[in-house]
Amino acid sequence: MANNDDSFIREVNEELRSDQMKYAWNRFRPLVIAVVVLIVGGAIAREGYKYWDTHTSSQSGDRFLAALKLANENKPDEALAAFEALEKDGTGAYPVLAKLRAGSVQQARGDTTAAIATFSAVGSDAKAPQAMRDLAKMRAAWLLIDTGTYDQVSAQVQAMANPGNPLAASAREALGLAAYKAGDMKKAKEWFQQIANDASTPRNIANRAQIMLDNIAASGKAP
């Protein structure tokens, strides 16, 4: 009887661990993606404002603000058309900003494939400022966590995961979640451990990494 009880308890524990892992992924995936989108969106907005503030009479600035207004009014088709036109004949930093915002509109309307393609295009644009290229790659990577493979996520942000990079923590978190989703608990643990060990990691990201490490440990699927 005791053996049967022990076997039953082990089965229950295994189910609980599996449920905990699924719960952690389902619970924190929207949160971490939302946080990154807000951070990246804020950075893009600041870049746009600085340029606009310096060139208040710029026609491109007026067009960019008009396109943003269309997006905020939930008119995605009109907004995308306006951003596309600005990409073609805008001046200064506005063509790049317009493409980034177009990616955001595509994402908001549920066209993830198009959004990834747009962000990836900005990320590979040698003429774009490096900061914008990195932000675009980060946006693409976070969308690919759900829709792509670990290798696809890695191709976008692996280079940003190095110590000293201002986006290192977010890059490592994206890589950790991509590995976790792929079932590679060993690799996921390595990325989350890097986050936890780095004193410069923002507290909210460090806390999420520790939660994932706890769930990986409880699963028994990583040494």
Domain-wise residue ranges, the chain: 26-147, 150-223
Task: Note the pLDDT of residue 21.
Answer: 53
Q: Which amino acid is at 98?
A: A
* pLDDT tens readout for residues 169-188: 999 999 999 999 999 999 99
Quick check: 145 and 137 in contact, CB under 8 A?
Answer: no
Share of the chain above pLDDT 70, in %: 74
Task: Note the pLDDT of residue 4.
Answer: 45
Higher-confidence residue of 222 and 37: namely: 222
- Confidence check: pLDDT of 8 > 50: no
Share of the chain above pLDDT 90, in %: 59
- Determine the number of helices (DSSP H) and then strands (DSSP E) in the chain: 10, 0
Task: Note the pLDDT of residue 89.
Answer: 87
- For residue 15, give Cα distances in angstroms to 10, 21, 25, 183, 190: 9, 10, 16, 16, 24
Gap between the Cα atoms of 118 and 88, Å rounded: 14
Task: Note the pLDDT of residue 16.
Answer: 44
Q: For the domain 26-147, what is the CATH code?
A: 1.25.40
The confidence band for 221, taking pLDDT boundaries of 50, 70 and 90, is: confident
> Average pLDDT of 13-38?
52
Quick check: 160 and 167 in contact, CB under 8 A?
Answer: yes
* pLDDT tens readout for residues 55-81: 544 688 888 899 999 999 999 999 999
- Confidence check: pLDDT of 10 > 60: no
Tell me which DSSP letter residue 221 carries: -
Task: Note the pLDDT of residue 112.
Answer: 95
Quick check: 198 and 163 in contact, CB under 8 A?
Answer: yes
**Please, what is the average pLDDT of the chain?**
82
